Amino acid sequence: MNILKSILLLAALLPGLALAETAIPLDHAPIDLANKASLQRGAHTFVNYCLSCHSAEYMRYSRLEDLGLTEDQIKKNLLFTRNKVGDTMTVAMRPGDAKKWFGNPPPDLSVITKALGPNFVYTYLRSFYRDPKRPTGWNNVVFPNVAMPNVLANLQGDQVAVFKTHVDMVDGKPEKEETFSHFELVKDGSMTPAQYNAMVGDLVNYLTWMSEPAKEQRLHTGVYVMVFLFIFFIIAYFLKKEFWKDVH
């Protein structure tokens, strides 16, 4: 195989390697970066439910003005810590404490959808289930033995996971293997499952926007650049014709 082929193969495989295989197929996150209302709702959920443990060090509160919010609205509805509007989204908890309390420190969420993919985060936030064997009382189907509790449980309700047991013969010995089958809601939350899914969809939409707030603008600028190059090409073409018309 030549070098070019190997490089192409590696480039095709890398994204797959980065996103680890999960026990269930990932659901598709409803991402729509042009939907400002959805992004605003997502920002609200994020500062209310995630910033207490996670930070978003690359994100300034003032940047939320890009979502159509005024400075006053940001101050009143989204700023709960002692931070100012120009500050980044830091977290009150000290990293040492987080490690003590949870075993694993909560990672910064600025670019989490770039690291794990929006579909993973969307599925993860809907896949917590009750598990008395875990110190937090919670486990997760796509992130087994996760240190994070289901912080959205009062909205989602409590679900348990139902597993199917298979018996496989491994080297002539029967070996039990459990595969995930489905969730059962055992305690209602304040939202219906459809409302909960929509809320998580908005949240992941916001997280995706946050991982690259300038994306919309970049695409916009790209279109102008292409239009400019096209017009410039026509002008250059006729100029060339004009300059060369007497040369034979």
Q: Interface residues with ligand HEC (CB under 6 A)?
A: 49-50, 52-54, 102, 104, 106-107, 109, 112, 116, 121, 124-125, 146-149, 151-152
| Of 100 and 166, CB closest to ligand HEC | 100
**d(C-alpha 245, C-alpha 153), whole Å:** 76
* Contact by Cβ (8 Å): 113, 208: yes
Q: Which two tokens stand for residue 61?
A: 């509160």
| Of 103 and 222, CB closest to ligand HEC | 103
**d(C-alpha 74, C-alpha 218), whole Å:** 24
Q: Which two tokens stand for residue 81?
A: 């810590």
| Of 74 and 116, CB closest to ligand HEC | 116
Q: Least distance in Å: CB of 218 to ligand HEC? A: 25
Q: Least distance in Å: CB of 178 to ligand HEC? A: 20
Q: Least distance in Å: CB of 235 to ligand HEC? A: 50
Q: Least distance in Å: CB of 205 to ligand HEC? A: 12
| Of 111 and 121, CB closest to ligand HEC | 121
Residue whose C-alpha is closest to residue 152's, from 140, 169, 170, 168: 140
Q: Least distance in Å: CB of 154 to ligand HEC? A: 12
The CB density around residue 7, as the number of other CB atoms within 10 Å, is: 10
| Of 53 and 69, CB closest to ligand HEC | 53
* Angle of the 193-211 helix axis to the 36-49 helix axis, nearest 10: 90
Q: Least distance in Å: CB of 48 to ligand HEC? A: 8
Q: Strand, coil or helix: what is 164?
A: strand
| Of 26 and 125, CB closest to ligand HEC | 125
Residue whose C-alpha is closest to residue 211's, from 80, 46, 83, 17: 46
The CB density around residue 119, as the number of other CB atoms within 10 Å, is: 19
Residue with token string 């289930």 = 129
| Of 99 and 220, CB closest to ligand HEC | 99
The CB density around residue 75, as the number of other CB atoms within 10 Å, is: 13
**d(C-alpha 237, C-alpha 240), whole Å:** 5
Q: Least distance in Å: CB of 195 to ligand HEC? A: 15
* Contact by Cβ (8 Å): 140, 230: no
